[in-house]
Amino acid sequence: MLNDIDKHILEIVADLHGTPKGAYNIRKNGAGVDRSITPNIEIRTKIGKPGIDVIVKPGTKGETVHIPVILTATGLHDLVYNTFDIGEGADVTVIAGCGIHNPGESNAQHDGVHDFIVRKGARMRYVEKHYGEGKGSGKKILNPRTIVVIEEDGYAEMELIQISGVDNTLRETEARLHDNAHLFVTERMLTDSDQFAESRITVELAGLDSSSQVISRSVAKDRSQQIFYPRAIGLNRCRAHVQCDAIIMDNAKIRSIPEISAQHADSQLVHEAAIGKIAGEQLIKLMTLGLSEKDAEDTILEGFLK
């Protein structure tokens, strides 16, 4: 059912080396191709529009659900709506990701809308990796939209990663936090050639003593362009930190526009942003250890994007 290209993409975007354990749903070229559920995690086909509903039972601990997407058909525009209900007191990991292999002249595009509700006292780790490849002239386009609601005492950790090969992307993330809810977001992005990437992250801290940290790290090479709009809105007594760090190379362009909006007297909000080149002393230090300039550069970038 899955060929060598499919397996290669799954390994990159979801760290899969064969059939995963636990619950999973694998989607290829606009259709589901394989699925498994567990006694604690149910996956249902959505009614009325493409996508799935993932229901995690309250109290579920230590389980993982994989929901990767593969596109290998040129000219395909895949749109999917996924809903996740993380039951009260659960502690689970959700591994998503989309890989596009486009060998043709027409564009291949995947737009995914993910709605999460993290119930009272639940914890969720969400990992999303995006990747593009293929020697055709058609573009690889990925537009994820993620909407997260975290109930009282809930916690979500989100890793949003764009590895390479994506020609155009608009990444939209929206979160709303209730009392004593916590959100930790790390975004990592690499662009090169003439690629364009825009990221918009908005966190509303509505609950008493809610907190959030958003950290974005990116590298822009060649003639690529990146725009970041991270935003934290304090609506109650809360804490938030927004940080954007970027390395710019060659003829690339980067704009970083962090925003903090305090709408309550007890909001504690901080933002910072930095864009710069690789420090020359870092390169020299690694080259004195025997690395070529390119290897030294690659080592620094790899460490920066971890």
DSSP per-residue letters across 69-134: EEE-STT-EEEEEEEEEE-TT-EEEEE--EEEE--SSS-EEEEEEEEEEE-TT-EEEEEEEEEEE-
H-type alpha helices, 4-85? 4-14
User: What is the pLDDT, as a whole number, of residue 83?
Assistant: 98
| Residue 27, φ and ψ in degrees, nearest 5 | -115, 135
CB 200 within 8 A of CB 175: no
Q: The tokens 């690789």 sit on which residue? A: 278
Q: What is the pLDDT of residue 80?
A: 96
pLDDT class for 13, splitting at 50, 70, 90? very high
Q: What is the number of helices (H) and of strands (E) in the chain?
A: 3, 22
* Predicted local distance difference test score (pLDDT) of residue 20: 86
CA distance 192 to 251: 10
pLDDT digits (tens, 9 = 90+) for 195-232: 999 999 999 999 999 999 999 999 999 999 999 999 99
Q: What is the mean pLDDT of the chain?
A: 94
pLDDT, position 21: 87
Is the pLDDT at 236 greater than 90? The verdict is yes
